[in-house]
Amino acid sequence: MNTFDKLLLVRCLRAEKVQESISLYVINEMTEFFVEPPSTQMSVLFADLANYIPMIFVLSKGADPTSSLFKFAEDMNVPSEKLLAISLGQGQGAKASRYI
């Protein structure tokens, strides 16, 4: 059996293992580069910003850059009232628009 056939077999017999198996398949067929999330350092992101460019995070499940963002702001001596952070959810769109 080739690796794709094994992936299909896992799908048929152990559906709960599919995500892990797909990751292993991609690593074997391509490289880990396509599976591991990119490392994001606030200093690198900050270098790409200007005072008219907001930093917007689009997150996946379980990701939370809030603590890193506030730590970076503290390291850069940014007063806490100058850092505006909002988690979008129900009713937060208007507030986000005002921030932008």
Torsion of CA 80, 55, 70, 100, to 10 degrees: 30
State pLDDT tens for residues 57-91: 777 777 778 888 888 888 989 888 888 878 777 88
Q: How confident is the model at residue 2 (pLDDT cuts 50, 70, 90)?
A: confident
39-53: buried (b, 16+ CB within 10 Å) or exposed (e) per residue? eeebeeeeeeeeeee
